[in-house]
Chains A and B, each alone.
Chain A
Amino acid sequence: QKEVEQNSGPLSVPEGAIASLNCTYSDRGSQSFFWYRQYSGKSPELIMSIYSNGDKEDGRFTAQLNKASQYVSLLIRDSQPSDSATYLCAVTGSSNTGKLIFGQGTTLQVKP
């Protein structure tokens, strides 16, 4: 079982729709959770962090965390073609060494 799992996609949504990206993790003691965006040929950039159960909103982005289900999601409202990228879920382990493990990423395509 991979430590952090994501559907590789591609996930295709029309412009203006809500894109929903999902991630599960195996270490029940994980403390911190992140979403990174990676455009083709570029390095990842942090877009959201979440540390406690529930929802966290930042503009068009909402991160959701459910530690009991070991599940993290990212919602993108009013999706734009510029949101087309690979979205990487990342999780720190329970050992709290700072090690950050990434999922394989989900490719999102927003069609005009």
Chain B
Amino acid sequence: GAGVSQSPSNKVTEKGKDVELRCDPISGHTALYWYRQSLGQGLEFLIYFQGNSAPDKSGLPSDRFSAERTGGSVSTLTIQRTQQEDSAVYLCASSWTQTPGELFFGEGSRLTVL
């Protein structure tokens, strides 16, 4: 498709399990962002990629969170040993390098940790 694609759209997991969330950006977009949005809250910045490198990882909440991007395209956000407070919608967005900040968002992955 032409837009940002995220999978899974919904994930229910048990506390302590690991989860992987995938993001496929718009073709040609070199910048890729991950945000987290809890119910009724704003967007919490997690990590930003320019190509395959991550100039800014400052938003990752703990060392249980990691992200990678390969081939300058698909990105995976991994949460290890999930906790109930990790429950949120995880949003991925991409943009052209020339227009940082003009983001195109995917539909999000809703994570529920029981």
Contact = CB atoms under 8 A, between A and B. Distances in A.
Nearest to B47: A99
Contacts, number: 56
B102 A99 contact: no
A8 B98 CA distance: 31
A100 B42 contact: no
Interface stretch (B14-22, B48-56, B69-77, B78-86): B48-56
A95 to B, nearest CB: 8
Q: How large is the interface on B (under 10, 10 to 19, 20 to 34, 35 or more residues)?
A: 20 to 34
Interface string A12-55: 00000000000000000000101010000001111001000000
B8 interface: no
B65 interface: no
B50 A88 contact: no
Interface stretch (A57-65, A67-75, A101-109): A101-109
Given A43-B91, A44-B43, A88-B42, A100 B103 contact: yes
Contacts of B104: 46
Contacts of A101: 45
Given A34-B101, A99-B55, A105-B42, 20 more contacts: A32-B101, A43-B105, A43-B108, A44-B91, A44-B103, A46-B103, A49-B99, A88-B43, A90-B101, A92-B101, A97-B56, A98-B48, A98-B100, A99-B48, A99-B56, A100-B33, A100-B48, A102-B42, A102-B43, A102-B45
Interface of A: 32, 34, 36, 43-46, 49, 88, 90, 92, 97-105
